[in-house]
Amino acid sequence: MKAAIEANFDGLVGPTHHYGGLAYGNLASAAHAGQVSNPRAAALQGLAKMKLLADRGFAQAVLPPLERPDLRSLRRLGFGGGDAQVLAQVARQAPHLLSRVSSAASMWVANAATVSASADTADGKLHFTPANLNTSFHRAIEHPDTARVLRAVFPPGPHFVHHTVLPECPAFADEGAANHGRLCAHHGAPGVGLFVFGREAGAALPARYPARQTREASEAVARQHGLMPERCVFAQQHPAAIDAGVFHNDVIAVANENLLLFHEQAFADTPQVLAALRRAMGETRLRAHQVPAAAVSLNAAVASYLFNSQLLSRPDGGMLLLLPEDCRENAEVMRYLDELHAAGIDEFLFAELRQSMRNGGGPACLRLRVVLAADERAAVAPGVWLDDALYARLCDWVQTHYRDRLSESDLADPALLDETRTALAALSRLLGLGEIYAFQGAA
């Protein structure tokens, strides 16, 4: 059994961060649609959250944003000519597409892929499957570029295995690590995969909003990664939770080591889920802390993103919960924090992420959790690990290249495309990732 750490790979917010209201079923996204955003503040808030954890001794790294607007998708949809001509045509003929191909949603890298630790896989390697995200067009176009970024950061070879996305059809709709949790005695020990889905054949469906993850997708990822069936638990989201705005499981539950923190209405059959987890974990004791709806309502959980917090193991063995500042503004949540001490959470930190939160993504949305043994950590692209020097360079990069206000009408500006490409080319050099963007290889 190898010693291992859990590293957080956070998505850098891209220069086209705007409030398009694109995520149906995401209440915050819909509530702020059409407002003017501040990409510079959004990126700096994300970096400050990363620095907060890095300063506390947590392994913290960054993942670059994807190129946006995605002109390749627009050309596939029949728009032609030079880049400026394409933008002008879309703005005139199909302005709704311009927001979608300019979405900065790749910042929420909890949806980038599902990751399985090498301690859990049959071949002893760390496995990645990019999410197809095919429920929403603006996210379904991400996976080719996401796969390129993941391969640059985690080079294929003796340590890392990269799979292709699942078939891009409704039956295999996959939203990535936002619907996957890992429970274990400690990070280096073999773990149990908790795969949460919204729909399967014959199961009750939500009445209002779509169930994005399918059981079939979760089972396929588990097979791809060579996980032992007896150490996988497949649990259905409660349909009422989805209708209340719980579009991913990480909005209503979070796991770390042997602690599962979840809302009373997280799962369709909670007793069955807990019994299955206890069987799968064997001699490792499951610590399950259920937050009752009488204490924190489903609406309060969604509005505050209490469960979209980062539950982390401190170097001293205690646990820390990093919450969004929005939790401070919710009386139900603040009253309940004392109860979380009894669950084994020793410390609470708060991060200002208002720009991301208004678009529907909290602390847990912004990070991809990757369990790494020492040799695996050494194989990661070295330029992505956050330290004081990289943090300073990234803040300077943001200040240099990002606008401090952006509206949907600005997305048709060819100058924004040029600014974005200049910024991303500089970033790829800064992180030492080579030509990870398609425009860099253009003639």
Side-chain half-sphere exposure of 217, counting CA atoms within 13 A: 34
From the list 18, 32, 248, 263, the catalytic residue is 248
Query: What are 277's two structure tokens?
Result: 């987890």
For residue 12, give the nearest of 394, 312, 321 by alpha carbon. 394
The size of the chain, in residues, is 443
Q: What is the rounded CA–CA span in Å between residue 124 and residue 161? A: 10
What is the side-by-side order of every strand in the sheet holding 126-130?
113-116, 126-130, 160-162
Q: What are 322's strand-pairing partners? A: 310, 349
Show the CA angle centred on residue 335, arms to residues 333 and 337, nearest 5°: 70
Query: What are 419's two structure tokens?
Result: 């600014």
**Known catalytic residue at 184:** no
Element of type H or E holding 376:
helix 374-379
For residue 226, give the nearest of 133, 118, 298 by alpha carbon. 118
Sequence-ordered alpha helix ranges (H) in 187-330: 215-224, 239-243, 270-281, 298-304
From the list 6, 175, 264, 408, the catalytic residue is 175
Show the CA angle centred on residue 343, arms to residues 348 and 251, nearest 5°: 65
**Known catalytic residue at 186:** no
From the list 225, 365, 376, 408, the catalytic residue is 365
Q: What is the rounded CA–CA span in Å between residue 155 and residue 201? A: 37
**Known catalytic residue at 169:** no
Task: Enumerate the active-site residues.
Answer: 175, 248, 365
